[in-house]
Amino acid sequence: MNKINLLLLPFLFVYTFFSQDLDSFLDQSNNFFIHNVTDGKVDYNSIKESSELPVLMNTISTLQFSELKENDQKAYLINVYNLLVINKIRENWPIASPMDISGFFEGVKHNIAGKKWTLNHLENEIIRPRFKDPRLHFVLVCGAKDCPPIINEAYYPLTLELQLDEQTKSALNNPNFIKVEGEVVQISEIFKWYTADFKLKAKNELAYINSYRTNKIDPKAKYDYYSYDWSVNAAVNSGSSNSDLTMNSKGEAQEPSEFNLQTYNAGSLLRKGKFDVSLFNSIYTQSKSQWMGTTFDGFRETFYSSLLQFTYGTSKNARFNLGFDLKFGGSGKSSVDDFSKITRAFEFKNDDSTRVGLSYAGPRVKIQPLKSEPNFTIQSSLLFPTINSGEGRVADSNGNGALYFLEWNRVQWWTQFFYVRDFKKSQLFLEVDVWYRIGYKENQASAVDLPVTAIYSYFPTSKTTVYGLVSHVTRNQYNPNSYNDGITTAANFSTAGLGLKYQMTSKINLELLYTKFLRGTNSGLGNTFNIGIRYVH
């Protein structure tokens, strides 16, 4: 063996090693597509507990595709993209759209050859610049109905050119993809998003389309883009024993119409056109409180509230939501420590021992600020008092006009920072708040509450959630009439609770929660009983 051949041996070994890995991956992928893809639709019910996909994901995380030849890389990365899309939808199934998964394309990171890349990075920074082939847009499937249909086989290097041509011709001759009715021509928004790619091969989008069409479109025709349908490309499989599909009035199986409410939380965002209406009812009652080192008891104070929140999705990428809050409440006190006296909060009168009214209202905004971190979101509300003398009022000189406390009579700026981690059967939710109550009247103290909350949820079934929470709140107060430049630590307290959620339908969640104040300084030492209902459409 000559010296040149000896030098080539390490490179030959490396190439053979990665080629064997590639062949195995492609064969496993091909088997997966054959058994789980039909007529361009993926059977997510069948693969919900798939053992094949984790094996393929492990290969994707380790195989160094940069060592492969160009055509091998191209075939490999097309399969990788499609499998990553399917796997992420599977992990969140049932959902109505990949867009229901926050940061699906530009936030969620996948392990690809040991690097953490998003789907957008893989497509727009790796695949498109490397291969400069507009046909890729007809084989990279985003998991939605208006994507070109996914085929039930893997892309192989030896047949790649034929497969790319077949899929491009199939898409561009499909009347549902290129819509021609008389002189009206509507084409997919893919051509708007990636105009530059198609102009690499033709003078404009229409010229590129005609290069693959059997029935040519008039080159001078005016064309427009129809709105992209982001509904998930799921197969209807009514025979599946673990199906999450619903049945219509004819007894026919239907695809799920909404995303998974089970993992929906306070930090979740909605894509454009979706809305969320929630009503959270809470009763806080105490027969004991702590103030300036002394514990007081022998009474019963109760505060009832109904918080109505409306949230609307305003962006296609689900990174910006707008909302509005309304809070209605009642309160009451009794000089007797009797649990039955909680009814005083429901007498709905306004006097020195019971109050009622619409206590505040205001706008709210929720954002996902970092593309690279879809699990981190921020919500901020500006709440205005809507009732006079919400903090109560002493009697006049004649002993008349006294009012009991209902709600803080201050403008409230409430900002919440959310972080969530989803696991296979559970979820960890963390929240840190800055709640600023602005004293806008003369001699009125301002206060900043700093709550920190952790919630761990477990999903014993597809419709049931049980969770536990712990929370600690510190209140710092600024009073222009107090010592130390007016800044004091006014209160702090710690709570713990247990909750249950039940998904009544694909759109409606019912929630029950009990919390107990474990300790407190300058605070009440009571309990809360909560019931909430949420509708997401």
pLDDT digits over 172-210, tens only? 999 989 999 888 899 999 998 999 999 888 888 999 999
- If you write DSSP's letter for every residue of 100-134 in order, what string do you get? GSTTTTTT--EEETTEEE-HHHIIIIIIHHHH--G
User: CA-CA distance, 377 to 234, in Å (whole number)?
Assistant: 29
CATH architecture of 276-536: Beta Barrel (2.40)
User: CA-CA distance, 39 to 42, in Å (whole number)?
Assistant: 9
pLDDT at 12 over 80: no
User: CA-CA distance, 257 to 96, in Å (whole number)?
Assistant: 5
pLDDT-based confidence at 20, cuts 50/70/90? low
**So what's the pLDDT on residue 442?**
66
Q: How far apart are the first and last CA of the chain?
A: 71
Phi, psi of 364 (to 5 degrees): -145, 145
Instruction: Determine if the pTM surpasses 0.75.
Output: no
Burial tier of 36 (Cβ tally within 10 Å: 0-12, 13-18, 19+): buried
pLDDT at 248 over 60: no
Instruction: Output the six-digit token pair for 132.
Output: 């400069």
**So what's the pLDDT on residue 486?**
54
226 has which bridge partners? none
Which residue intervals of 211-290 are DSSP H helices? none
In total, the chain counts a number of residues equal to: 537
In 3D space, the residue among 273, 196, 269, 259 whose CA is nearest the CA of residue 227 turns out to be: 273
User: DSSP character for 124?
Assistant: I
**So what's the pLDDT on residue 489?**
62
**So what's the pLDDT on residue 236?**
65
CA angle 438, 443, 445 (to 5 degrees): 40
Pair 218, 224: CB distance under 8 Å: no
Residue ranges covered by each domain of the chain: 15-153, 173-227, 276-536
